[in-house]
Structure 1
Amino acid sequence: MKFSQEIKIGNKLINRDNPTFIIAEAGVNHNGDIKLAKKLIDIAVESNVDAVKFQTFSTERLILRDTEKPEYQKKNTESSENQYEMLKKLELDKEDHKILIDYCNKKGIIFLSTPYDEESADLLEGLGIKAYKIASTDTTNLLLLDYLAKKDKPVILSTGMSYLSEVEKAVDIFKKNNMGELILLHCISNYPLEFEKANLQAIKTLEDRFDLLVGYSDHTAGIGVAPYSIALGAKVIEKHFTIDKNLPGPDHKASLSPIELKSCVELIRKIEKAMGTGIKSPLLEEKQVKLLLQKSLVAKVSINKGESIKRDMLTAKRPCGGISPLYLEEIVEKKAKMDIKKNSIIKYEMLEDE
């Protein structure tokens, strides 16, 4: 089966011609506070992103109680608590989800969330989620991928921490379920990520290998490299943001500030405009410059009427307006219809027709 090259999420159409679909990743930066979550939605709306995304999970279903934190979480959260204890404080219940979805609808922005288990996916399905965003932590979780592939909703799948062979197995799950609305996001799961490790070329690798829409989930600091992924063909961009980088929590320090989020969106839109159509032809503004800066064939010596023109009789000089040096071979051996003075621009009316 072939994957769709045009996927609709809410009122947004994602394809290779439309503007990039930008997801502002609130994640767990609400710190378990519904009021803070609403403020994050307001920031996303003001930044003109297309969607704001949260995370839907039950700590009990997600993680074993004694699971250690990765290093970046240890640096940014209480050192005495384990990963289970940290995440338990960051859950959103069903009523929280309803409040946030209603608020997003009121504000005119698409609500998305990442489910981390089947029951969480069912919760989102019951609330009318428009698409599923799957975290890199579940790229290899074929149980969850198979479950979501049967939901018949668009899926955006991050691929951090994965080998291409593992991504292939994930993609095969969607093929087996005849589910063609899949978007892959290149991602490096390190927080924050050094620029030189972003490996943006992997966007093209994924696109060429799977022939589907591809995007980029960026964890570089600040505005980072996300806007430059546009030139590699990213059609979805995801970026973490927060109301305050100094708040306690695992992701705040690696997230964009409100000002940075707005600037990131503005830069993405500028780069999109700069990408153009890909058609190589001079702009209207260039055509005037072309007349003055490109060259014409010019008589290097005086040429007598009836004389055959040789290559060494010609040179190229500004301005344009005569015969272009592109057509040198067409001119050689033609006879002069009139006397041509040295340094004269060669024009077709000066030459005999054959």
Structure 2
Amino acid sequence: MKKFDVGQLHKSINIDGVDIGENYQPYTIAELSGNHGGDINKALELIDAAAKTGASAIKIQTYRPDTITLDHDGPEFVVKDKLWQGRTLYELYEEAHTPWHWHEALFARAKEHGITLFSSPFDKTAIDLLEDLNCPAYKIASFEITDIGLIQYAAKTGKPIIMSTGMATLAEIEEAVTAVKDAGGTQLAILHCVSGYPTPIADCNLSTLAYLHQYLDIPVGLSDHSLADTAAIASVALGGSIIEKHFKMTNDTTSVDAAFSLDPNEFSRMVSAVKNTKSALGEPSFRLAKSEQDNVAFRRSLYIAEDIKEGELFTEQNLRSVRPGLGLHPRYLDELIGKPAKQTLTKGTPMKLEYVTQ
């Protein structure tokens, strides 16, 4: 496959001192989105809960309704999707947005837990706010991957950039990657994403992630809106090094993204599963694993299966390939059948070449 020229972009990125890429453990992101329901105490509670799941980081979103859409009820401003059907974009974002005056407290709470918090900015003023809070990385959402000005403004901060590709063509992904390069960015990760809420598992097309991994040769991962954690786990086996899933509190069925979010127990299981998956991949090896070394003795070998007198011929009945593996290699069986025994042998004796009259 011909690779896309990513220029100065690194093959791994580093967020808050954590290396992220194919040679490292999966980086798991708990996306809070609008699941705080407009209550800062719930937002803080979500951070507390996410920090206990083993997540690598927590992500919020930084916008105001007026920075992301217009307060308008024209048909093109009304959501037709069944999850949010009939609501205007402005109404939806008014409910889902994380007020800017909360941000300092949210960053402080994450710091208390020793967990990284960063954000998806949706306009330049959001980046300015986040820079004042020393946000360690920026996530470009799928819907903003065509906002080249926003991408370049984020890249010029010098912070690592993570971009989701939902709805994007390959040409649009290339343009966004080029925007980061042109702005002097050196750390970029691309997350395969399907912007369906929730995403049917058959729509995930995780092979795209594997393609992007080969084509771009930079860290890739999955921003997952499917139910459960099947796609997230599979993504690691295909080269994914970042997994982002929406996060909610237990028994939350009403928050704006609750329908495709994981609760703390589910998220914890996912974190454990993707780490185990990464460990299971290992590397190509034909050496004995430590766990199997003691079992080598129980492979097959040639054993005397019936008592044999000196001079008696070896047959398929009195010389057999059985477990354990302390006798002669089974490859010699056909060669020995029909030859005379050099000495008397008892059943259960491991076979040796010296027992055969040549």
* Range class of TM-score, shorter chain: 0.7 to 0.9
Q: Secondary structure at the match of 2:278?
A: helix
- 1:74 corresponds to 2:74: no
Q: State the alpha-carbon separation in 1 of the partners of residues 353 and 191 from structure 2.
A: 57
Q: CA deviation at 1:339?
A: 4.3
Q: Secondary structure at the match of 1:112?
A: strand
- 1:184 corresponds to 2:179: no
- 1:245 corresponds to 2:245: no
Overall identity of the aligned pairs, in %? 31
- 1:30 corresponds to 2:36: yes
Q: State the alpha-carbon separation in 1 of the partners of residues 271 and 285 from structure 2.
A: 26
Q: CA deviation at 1:130?
A: 0.3
| 1:300-311 alignment runs, 5 A limit | none
1:15 paired residue number: 21
Q: State the alpha-carbon separation in 2 of the partners of residues 26 and 298 from structure 1.
A: 64
Q: 315, 318, 326: which one pairs with 1:321?
A: 326
TM-score by length of 2: 0.81
Q: State the alpha-carbon separation in 1 of the partners of residues 328 and 159 from structure 2.
A: 60
Q: 122, 127, 148: which one pairs with 2:128?
A: 122
Q: CA deviation at 1:348?
A: 6.7
CA contact (8 A) 1:72 1:191 kept: no
Q: State the alpha-carbon separation in 2 of the partners of residues 199 and 23 from structure 1.
A: 21
Extract unaligned runs of 5+ from structure 1. Answer: 306-313
Q: Secondary structure at the match of 2:213?
A: helix
Q: Which has the higher mean CA deviation after the structures are superposed, 24-33 or 81-90?
A: 81-90
- 1:295 corresponds to 2:317: no
1:208 maps to amino acid: Q
Q: Secondary structure at the match of 1:71?
A: coil
Q: State the alpha-carbon separation in 1 of the partners of residues 140 and 248 from structure 2.
A: 20
Q: State the alpha-carbon separation in 1 of the partners of residues 135 and 116 from structure 2.
A: 9
Change (3 A) 1:339 1:245: same
Change (3 A) 1:221 1:318: same
CA contact (8 A) 1:3 1:211 kept: no
- 1:52 corresponds to 2:58: yes
2:274 maps to amino acid: I
Over residues 149-191 of structure 1, what are the superposed CA-to-partner deviations in whole Å (9 max), with x where a residue is unaligned?
A: 2111101111111122221221122233342211111111111
Q: CA deviation at 1:349?
A: 6.4
2:282 maps to amino acid: G
TM-score by length of 1: 0.82
- 1:42 corresponds to 2:48: yes
1:308 paired residue number: none
Q: State the alpha-carbon separation in 1 of the partners of residues 96 and 60 from structure 2.
A: 11
Q: 229, 253, 259: which one pairs with 1:223?
A: 229
Extract unaligned runs of 5+ from structure 2. Answer: 1-6, 312-318
Q: CA deviation at 1:323?
A: 5.1
CA contact (8 A) 2:120 2:138 kept: yes
Q: State the alpha-carbon separation in 1 of the partners of residues 26 and 142 from structure 2.
A: 21
Pairs aligned (count) = 337
